[in-house]
């Protein structure tokens, strides 16, 4: 880990921890002796989580043709392995409540959700296995910025001020002022949380996917999803400009220009509904 990040940001007493329900689910899913019913029981103990999972299983995200009315049914629709990622997706926002609102938090999550949806739609289009990890990757791609806002609010204000004055990307100004950017911090956070390596790479290298060590194609999809959703103005994380487009990432992705129309159409079809599920205050 970059020693600067470690020194400035990783103060053990204030680091957000993953929700307990996620570790329980992860343990249960990874244990071959656990039954479907055991896992369903863990979920049912968390009302918010079970409600969101049910709504998600019934949404355009899965496009399942009949109504899914119980948690075991929802687990069948989502799939056990993928479910781990979706469980984390649905509780990650709770972890970051109370971050100083240097940008509108709802807009921040809307951008993150859009990026996740877009990356997952591309992955499905490319017949990638386990497409939910792309959703989670997109959802977390700018998570480091929230840690920076939380731990370094004054410098964050300076970075945002500079961004108003100069025609430079926010991540470049983060590096200039802090010595690291949100992608570095995001990767370090996921590492600290012991999340899988693939997910760490998605967050650490999405700005420059060719630097990824093992999963260049996967990282490329997050890069492209960030580009497309920023271009379409979905949500807001502080960035004023559409990011640089990596031609290499496009090449690695395996996508064809003709796929773009379907991808954007599908993204727009799912966007509002999925945002509603994740951001509903009533939940």
Distance (Å, whole) CA 55 – CA 227: 28
Query: Which three-class secondary structure state does DSSP give residue 165?
Result: helix
First to last CA, the chain: 36
**Choice from 154, 247, 281, 282 touching other proteins (CB under 8 A):** 247
Contact flag: residue 233 with other proteins (CB under 8 A)? yes
How many angstroms separate the Cα of 226 from the Cα of each of 44, 139, 142, 200, 243? 34, 10, 10, 16, 8
**The only residue of 11, 124, 211, 245 in contact with other proteins, by rule CB under 8 A:** 245
CB of residue 47 to other proteins, shortest distance in Å: 23
146 to 61, 131, 180, 187, 248: CA distances (angstroms): 26, 25, 14, 13, 29
Binding of residue 63 to other proteins (CB under 8 A): yes
Nearer to other proteins, 164 or 167 (CB): 167
According to CB under 8 A, which one of 232, 254, 279, 283 is a site residue for other proteins?
Answer: 232
Distance CA 16, CA 149 (A): 13
Binding-site string for other proteins from residue 163 to residue 192, where x marks contact by CB under 8 A and - marks none: ----xxx-----------------------
d(CA 259, CA 267): 12
Task: Tell which one of 231, 252, 254, 280 touches other proteins (CB under 8 A).
Answer: 231
* 228 binding other proteins? (CB under 8 A): yes
- Find out whether 185 and 200 touch, Cβ atoms under 8 Å: no
Q: Which is nearer to other proteins, 10 or 62 (CB)?
A: 62
The reply on whether position 273 binds other proteins by CB under 8 A is: yes
Q: Would you tell me which residues interact with other proteins (CB under 8 A)?
A: 58-60, 63, 167-169, 227-228, 231-233, 240-247, 250, 255, 257, 260-261, 264-265, 268-269, 272-273
């Amino acid at each position: 880990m970059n020693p600067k990040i470690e020194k400035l940001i990783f103060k053990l007493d204030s680091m957000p921890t993953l929700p307990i329900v996620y570790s329980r689910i992860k343990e249960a899913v990874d244990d071959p002796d656990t039954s479907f019913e055991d896992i369903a029981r863990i979920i049912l103990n968390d009302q918010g989580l079970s409600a969101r999972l049910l709504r998600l299983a019934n949404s355009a995200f899965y496009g399942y043709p009949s109504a899914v009315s119980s948690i075991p049914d929802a687990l069948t629709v989502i799939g056990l392995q993928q479910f781990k990622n979706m469980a984390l997706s649905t509780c990650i926002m709770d972890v970051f409540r109370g971050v100083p609102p240097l940008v509108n938090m709802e807009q921040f999550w809307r951008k993150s959700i859009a990026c996740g949806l877009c990356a997952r739609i591309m992955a499905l289009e490319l017949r990638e296995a386990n497409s939910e990890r792309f959703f989670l990757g997109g959802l977390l791609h700018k998570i480091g910025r929230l840690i920076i806002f939380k731990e370094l609010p004054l410098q964050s204000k300076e970075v945002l001020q500079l961004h108003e004055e100069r025609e430079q990307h926010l991540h470049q100004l983060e590096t200039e002022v802090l010595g690291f950017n949100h992608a570095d911090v995001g990767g370090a956070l996921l590492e600290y949380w012991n999340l899988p390596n693939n997910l760490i790479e998605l967050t650490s290298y999405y700005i420059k996917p060719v630097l990824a060590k093992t999963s260049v194609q996967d990282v490329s999809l997050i890069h492209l999803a960030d580009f497309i959703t920023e271009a379409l103005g979905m949500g807001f994380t502080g960035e004023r400009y559409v990011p640089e487009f990596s031609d290499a990432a496009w090449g690695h992705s395996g996508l064809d220009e003709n796929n773009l129309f379907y991808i954007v159409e599908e993204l727009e079809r799912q966007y509002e509904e999925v945002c509603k599920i994740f951001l509903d205050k009533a939940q």
